[in-house]
């Protein structure tokens, strides 16, 4: 198996497959913890949900980018990716906690683009901080 993964084409497909599967799982988890239905809102043209979801997708992919760069095995890469996602999820709850004057999910669902943009930037920013510490 190690010889097979030594081939850069096979390694790329393996990493890609793990990341795509992880994105599906992690976005499903975000779908559960948010009060709105991401893809339904996006299909209805809710730009704020698109911003927030896009930030989550970028953030997750960016964490995996660092994880792939710093780990030699699919297992280690996946473990660090999951760990990074958990930290991003915690960041989401901290963001909600630190804004007691309004509910993040409700504002994003109402297409408050300022909140959607901040949500996106937080996800992207946290992904760089999390990614930089991946070993």
Domain boundaries, the chain: 2-132
- The better pLDDT of the pair 97, 58 is held by 58
Q: Give CA–CA dist 67/79, Å, rounded.
A: 9
pLDDT recorded at residue 5:
65
Show Cβ contacts of residue 80 under 8 Å, excluding neighbours closer than 6 positions: 63, 66, 67, 70, 71, 134, 135
Contact 87, 59 (CB under 8 A): no
Show Cβ contacts of residue 55 under 8 Å, excluding neighbours closer than 6 positions: 119, 120, 121, 122, 123, 124
Q: Give CA–CA dist 49/119, Å, rounded.
A: 9
pLDDT recorded at residue 17:
96
Radius of gyration of the chain (CA): 16
Is the model's pLDDT at 71 over the cut of 90?
no
pLDDT recorded at residue 100:
85
Q: Give CA–CA dist 95/100, Å, rounded.
A: 10
Report residue 50 CA to chain centroid gap. Answer: 13
pLDDT digits (tens, 9 = 90+) for 12-50: 999 999 999 999 999 999 999 998 999 999 999 999 999
> Rounded to two decimals, what is the model's pTM?
0.90
């Amino acid at each position: 198996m190690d010889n097979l993964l030594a081939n850069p084409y096979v390694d790329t497909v393996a990493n890609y497959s793990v990341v795509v599967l992880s994105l599906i799982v992690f976005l499903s988890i975000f779908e559960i913890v948010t009060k709105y239905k991401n893809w339904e809102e996006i299909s209805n043209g809710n730009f704020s949900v698109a911003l927030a979801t896009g930030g989550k997708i970028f953030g997750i992919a960016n964490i995996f980018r660092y994880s792939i760069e710093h780990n030699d095995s699919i297992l280690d890469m996946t473990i660090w990716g999951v760990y990074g996602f958990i930290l991003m999820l915690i960041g989401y709850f901290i963001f909600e906690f630190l804004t007691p004057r309004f509910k993040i999910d409700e504002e994003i669902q109402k297409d408050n683009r300022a909140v959607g943009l901040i949500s996106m930037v937080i996800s992207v920013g946290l992904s760089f901080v999390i990614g930089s510490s991946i070993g």
